[in-house]
Amino acid sequence: MSAALLAGQACASGDESAPSKPNCPKGQVWDTKTAKCVLQTSKATSDTDRTDYAYRLAKDGRYDEALALLDTLQNPNTAKALNYRGYATRKLGRTDEGIGYYLQSVALDPNYAQVREYLGEAYVIKGRIDLAQEQLVKIKALCSTTCEEYEDLAEAIAAAPQA
């Protein structure tokens, strides 16, 4: 189980990584102020906590729960929230919808390497390696070839069927 936790943490990068939080039951969210799970309808829980926990849910494969939690945000139009919404929808097989959220996120924060990685991965799924390569070039300019976002997207492109 520790390996699974470490693998999950390794998938997050930069400001996306956070100390391990307990898995809350469905309909609840981790509140950092109280250090416990609270109902996701609680108005006391910050958008930051909701957004971060939604990403954790998505990384755990709980995509519908992640989307439901993102629906409770007071300000859903942040680069992070839109990126995580894109991630969850893409993982549910709704790649075109995910791309739409990623593009909104990029418009809000063009220097957000993680959204560019996920956008590139979505383009790989769509067979648009040319567009994925464009994202890879932008990621390289943001964080070089040694950052996780660059490495992950380069790997996805290399593994893609070549036309």
22-39: per-residue pLDDT in tens?
A: 788 888 888 888 888 888
Least confident of 29-38, 80-89, 142-151: 29-38
Using 50, 70 and 90 to split pLDDT, how confident is the model at 119?
very high
| Separation of alpha carbons 61 and 67, rounded Å | 11
The CATH fold assigned to 80-163 is 1.25.40
Asked whether 161 and 129 are in contact (CB, 8 A), the reply is: no
Kindly tell me if the per-residue pLDDT of 8 is higher than 90. Answer: no
Answer with the residue of higher pLDDT: 99 or 30. Answer: 99
Check residue 163 and give its pLDDT: 62
Helix boundaries (H) for the chain: 2-11, 47-59, 63-70, 79-91, 95-108, 113-125, 129-143, 148-159
How many residues are present in the chain? 163
Domain ranges of the chain: 27-76, 80-163
